[in-house]
Amino acid sequence: MRHGIGDPIALLINQGFQKGADFTDLPITRRMVSRFSADDLILSLNYDTLIEAGLMQNGSDFTYLPNPTDPAQIPVCKPHGSLNMAFDENGFSFGDPGNLFPMFVTGDGRSAYIGLIPPRLNKTYEQTPMARMILASVKKRQPRSIVMWGIGMTESDVDLNEIYRGWAESAEYVDVINPDPKVGPLIAKVIGIPVRCFASAEEWIELDTCPRTS
């Protein structure tokens, strides 16, 4: 996982750091995440930390679940792990979003590993204790609106689709941001509520009545 997926992604992201300066500006990501508040939830299925970089560039306070949140923090949920997550036999932790290969300082020679949780066919999060802990606090949320940005949707994501369907019980529709016109109808079929389709993030951002996730 690390050498085949983690290293190439980290190499690309690290190229975004400008010499002697901060990470390169992410205007679209910043505009997207500027819609979010502490009442919302960001569920990211990506190993990269670009969403977090956008939050930091906006000066938005956030925390990774399952850490406790305070009323001013946007919760970020990454059940597939992250390039800035590390774990050992005693637990796991998310680090600085700019530190893509963190290691625990154990002090006793024990090993720690980068926290990439591999995909598997027809997976359930019960098979992965870390993912189960990360998701524990979000399953029963009742969002007013849902936005899916870049989600491909597969029916083999058993537990994830169950969470989506639970959220859909309180939402009127889902905004789907994806250039593939086949994705929107598939999402509507899987989670059972209408979708509004947008070919790009810019198109969604410019929508006057654009709802926020919750």
pLDDT in tens, 151-170: 888 877 888 899 999 999 99
Predicted local confidence at residue 16, as pLDDT: 58
**In this predicted structure, what is the pLDDT of residue 175?**
96
Question: How confident is the prediction for the chain on average, in pLDDT?
Answer: 84
Comparing 12-21, 57-66, 71-80, 181-190, the range with the smallest average pLDDT is: 12-21
The total number of structural domains that make up the chain:
1
Range of the domain at 168: 2-82+120-205
pLDDT digits (tens, 9 = 90+) for 12-32: 555 555 555 577 888 999 999
- pLDDT tens for each residue of 32-69: 999 999 999 999 998 889 999 999 999 999 999 999 98
| CA 36 to mean position of chain CA atoms | 13
Is the model more confident about 18 or about 179?
179
Structure tokens at 175: 């905004």
192 phi-psi bin (left φ>0, alpha ψ -120 to 50, beta other): left
Report residue 143: phi and psi, to 5°: -70, 145
Q: DSSP strand E in 141-182: where?
A: 146-149, 174-177
Per-residue confidence at 106, pLDDT binned at 50, 70, 90?
Answer: low
Task: Please report whether residue 32 resides in a domain.
Answer: yes
- The answer to whether residue 152 sits within a structural domain is yes
Q: What's the residue count for the chain?
A: 214
In a domain, 14, yes or no: yes
Q: Are 172 and 214 in contact (CB under 8 A)?
A: no
Is 106 inside a domain boundary? Answer: no
Q: Max alpha carbon distance in the chain (Å)?
A: 56
Is residue 124 in a domain?
yes
The percent of residues in the chain predicted with pLDDT above 90, rounded, is 52
Q: Please indicate, yes or no, if residue 101 is contained in any of the structural domains.
A: no
**Beta strand ranges found along the chain (DSSP E):** 42-43, 62-64, 74-77, 81-88, 91-94, 113-116, 146-149, 174-177, 195-198
- CB distance 53 to 26 below 8 Å: yes
